[in-house]
Amino acid sequence: MTLAAASPASPGAAGCGEPAVAKERGQREVFCGLTGIVWLHRKIQDAFFLVVGSRTCAHLLQSAAGVMIFAEPRFATAIIEERDLAGLADANEALEQIVGTLLARRPDIRMLFLVGSCPSEVIKLDLAEAARRLTRRHLPQVRVLHYSGSGIETTFTEGEDACLAALVPELPAARDDAPALMVVGALAEVVEDQFRRLFAAMGIGPVGFLPPRLSTDLPAVGPGTRFLMAQPFLAGTARALEARGARLVPAPFPLGAEGTTLWLRAAADDWGVTPRAFHEATAFGEQRARRALSARRERLHGLRVGFFPDSQLEVPLARFLARELGMVPTEIGTPYLHRDHMAPEVALLPPGTRIVEGQHVENQLDRFRAERPDLTVCGLGLANPLEAEGLATKWSIELVFSPIQGYEQAGDLAELFVRPLARRARLEV
């Protein structure tokens, strides 16, 4: 449980292409994958997420969803009780009954996800079999899929990865080998529409999005499909897409003016878009983004920023803050670092940046207390206690729920980091 060799990158390296990645094990102050349901159910508008778990799981969703819990959300928990633990046959029957009730009450639902949890995994409840059985019963109205969002298998955003990976076998096969682009990862609708317009302006198409807004609009996949990851936490989904013949277009993630341009350019180069057409499509957006960032740069330039692990967005965010706003990353914690997917990002980090994969929260707190970065990005369990110790914090979960990708959101993204510092500067009590 000790931090192994957190040595900085070799001095003089242009970036940290050979990054100093330390691994750490111990207590993790992170969410489990069930939390992904909170934004996924907003995205796929005709899907329902039924967690098969304990009262703890229901309590977690309630705490994570906040006020959303009162808006007739399309998720719920089938709480395992003592009598379900006695024999597995009963649990399956009970589950079928609950799904029957649920679907009768919500006839608008077209896709149902049975979401595994720690308790359901430990008692080895076979949700795959349950999903098959329920699909047979409820087709053609409803398709029943399953994935695990358990804490023993998934950290926070990995819940989305597990969900999308479960969707991949459902994607229709492309009719031919004609090129098509797929953007993978849930994005806010406003961001998705901006990207759609940019691809159209470059002449790239057809463009599909995974997940789609409706479960009946699943994008097709085939050997002509190339996919661009809009989120960094989708290792399993990428593997599943590759298994169906699709090809990954490596790129940094579309955060900030530079990140968005590099991301779009990766697609454009792969598609054979001319530099001129690319410039015409993106120049205005990029300029606008840089304009929106310039004012924030004055506030953030030279300040040190550290990240606690949370969503796997930490490395791309640190890259954005370092290169476009002049911040100095101290420690970048991340729950998991996919070496290949993250390579374009890591290459852009300033030399000497320290990446820590995994977590021993107490040791990490000790390091942050010693280093005292000007801004600490962390979860809500740590934020107020660190503020009380005099460290400025930015709570990280907002970075997952807010539209932050693309040119038009670059300024908003920077603002999320400016605000806590501006607030501290204003307060006189």
Q: Which is nearer to another protein, 230 or 349 (CB)?
A: 230
Q: Which is nearer to another protein, 225 or 282 (CB)?
A: 282
* Structural contact between residues 296 and 414, judged by C-beta atoms closer than 8 angstroms: yes
- Minimum CB separation of residue 339 from another protein in Å reads 19
- Minimum CB separation of residue 30 from another protein in Å reads 6
- Residues 6 or more apart whose Cβ sits within 8 Å of residue 130: 92, 95, 96, 114, 144, 146
Taking the C-alpha atoms of residue 237 and residue 152, their distance in angstroms, rounded to an integer, is 19
* Structural contact between residues 329 and 321, judged by C-beta atoms closer than 8 angstroms: yes
- Minimum CB separation of residue 389 from another protein in Å reads 9
Taking the C-alpha atoms of residue 363 and residue 213, their distance in angstroms, rounded to an integer, is 42
Q: Which is nearer to another protein, 232 or 411 (CB)?
A: 411
- Helix (H/G/I), strand (E/B), else coil: 175: coil
Taking the C-alpha atoms of residue 358 and residue 337, their distance in angstroms, rounded to an integer, is 9
Phi-psi group of 49: left, alpha or beta (phi > 0 → left; psi -120 to 50 → alpha; rest → beta): beta
Q: Which is nearer to another protein, 1 or 14 (CB)?
A: 1
- Minimum CB separation of residue 55 from another protein in Å reads 4
- Helix (H/G/I), strand (E/B), else coil: 92: helix
Please report which helix (H) or strand (E) contains residue 116, including its range.
strand 111-116
The alpha carbon torsion through 227, 229, 230, 235 (nearest 10 deg) reads 140
Sheet with 247-248: strands ordered across = 207-210, 180-184, 225-229, 247-248
Q: Which is nearer to another protein, 190 or 343 (CB)?
A: 190
Q: Which is nearer to another protein, 67 or 370 (CB)?
A: 67
> DSSP letter at 215?
G
Type of residue at 356 = V
Q: Which is nearer to another protein, 19 or 411 (CB)?
A: 411
Beta bridge partners of 229: 184
> DSSP letter at 132?
H
378 is in an annotated binding site: no
- Minimum CB separation of residue 70 from another protein in Å reads 4
DSSP string, 357-392: EE--HHHHHHHHHHH--SEEEE-HHHHHHHHHTT--
Type of residue at 275 = P
DSSP string, 99-132: HHHHHHH-TT--EEEEEE-HHHHHTT--HHHHHH
- Minimum CB separation of residue 355 from another protein in Å reads 20
- Minimum CB separation of residue 254 from another protein in Å reads 16
57 is in an annotated binding site: yes
Q: Which is nearer to another protein, 227 or 307 (CB)?
A: 307
- Minimum CB separation of residue 301 from another protein in Å reads 16
* Structural contact between residues 327 and 260, judged by C-beta atoms closer than 8 angstroms: no
- Minimum CB separation of residue 425 from another protein in Å reads 18
Type of residue at 175 = R
Instruction: From residue 412, give the alpha-carbon distance in Å to each of 13, 260, 295, 348, 379.
Output: 32, 14, 12, 22, 20
163 is in an annotated binding site: no
- Minimum CB separation of residue 269 from another protein in Å reads 25
Taking the C-alpha atoms of residue 270 and residue 260, their distance in angstroms, rounded to an integer, is 16
Q: What are the DSSP E strand ranges found in 149-260?
A: 180-184, 207-210, 225-229, 247-248
Binding residues: 32, 57, 118
Binding residues for [4Fe-4S] cluster: 32, 57, 118
